[in-house]
Amino acid sequence: MKNAEENNNYRIAVPSAFETVFSHFYFAENKTEFSITKTLLPSFQTILVFNFGTKSSLKSQQNTFLEVEKCIVLGPIKQAFDYTLEPNSEILVANFKEDAFYRFFGNALFDSLPVHPDALINENCFTLLWEELQNIPDPKERVDYILDFCKPYLREQTVITTLLNDFQDQNLNPIKAVASQINQTERNIQLNQKKVFGYTIKEANRYERFLKAVDRIQKNILNEFKTDWLTIVDECGYYDQSQLIHDFKYYMNISPTKFLKFQKDICSSNLD
């Protein structure tokens, strides 16, 4: 018999019309007789989780447990956490891109997450949506239904958000550059960045450096190359190996060497 854990979790791509809203959807189910636990890497994305069948659960690095009965919003995901699928449970996860959570939920505070999405809009729209989705057996058709549901609620990007999203010059500070371009204070741009994205530029830069290291390590694994930690440090912009270790401990609560060892149990929302 094929391994259900391997065969029943996969990504679902979104149409081009929604590429600025969702990076992808993720589906997973457990048809075995045993609980399945995976680790989700930090993605700095806000996610909306729908749970069907038996309850699933989340566990943070601080050992906080959270049961998912129907649906929940959490993020931005800045540190790894474990999720457990009990037998006969399945999840469908929507991964919001950049400012898409703000465009959908408006002035909802990231500090209030995790929470049931109905609590953010003071309506029971998502409970009703979950009930509709429960009657749709095919995950891809569920995604199509969610996308159709989203259309009336999505707001246009603000000028500041568009400029920050499109900023490409790595030699310039995006906060300073955007503030100068639209004649606003740097403080105002910083506040908008934090409110709309849920994280600061400094946090994003640190995460990108870490993600670059993860990418290098995973490519070494795929190519069956031995990982040279000093090369990783140099290529990814770390001061020394201790700073690399510190980032792995912060984001994933494990060392880089343990990351190699447990790679098969780690699920990345950003990497293939």
Amino acid at 208: E
Half-sphere exposure of 190 (CA within 13 A, CB side): 7
**Both tokens assigned to 146:** 């969610």
Backbone angles phi, psi at 190, to 5 degrees: -60, -45
Q: Do 260 and 184 share a domain, yes or no? A: no
8 Å CB contact between 72 and 127 = no
Domain containing residue 188: 159-199
Q: Which residues pair with 48 in a beta bridge?
A: 73, 94
Q: Do 170 and 195 share a domain, yes or no? A: yes
Rounded Cα–Cα distance for residues 145 and 158 (Å)? 27
Domain annotation covers residue 272: no
Domain annotation covers residue 115: yes
Say what the pLDDT of residue 267 is.
57
8 Å CB contact between 146 and 133 = yes
Number of structural domains (the chain) is 3
Q: Do 149 and 28 share a domain, yes or no? A: yes
Q: Do 223 and 89 share a domain, yes or no? A: no
Q: Do 179 and 86 share a domain, yes or no? A: no
Q: Do 189 and 70 share a domain, yes or no? A: no
Q: Do 24 and 126 share a domain, yes or no? A: yes
Q: Do 88 and 106 share a domain, yes or no? A: yes
Residues of the chain whose pLDDT is less than 70?
1-7, 108-109, 111-112, 263-272
Say what the pLDDT of residue 253 is.
87
Domain annotation covers residue 73: yes
User: CATH number for the domain including 65?
Assistant: 2.60.120.10
Q: Do 132 and 172 share a domain, yes or no? A: no
List pLDDT tens digits, range 166-213.
888 878 889 999 999 999 999 999 998 988 898 998 998 999 999 999
Domain annotation covers residue 128: yes
Rounded Cα–Cα distance for residues 93 and 72 (Å)? 10
Domain annotation covers residue 243: yes
Domain annotation covers residue 88: yes
Q: Do 118 and 80 share a domain, yes or no? A: yes
Q: Which residues pair with 73 in a beta bridge?
A: 48, 115
**Both tokens assigned to 73:** 């919003």
**Both tokens assigned to 245:** 């270790």
User: CATH number for the domain including 238?
Assistant: 1.10.10.60
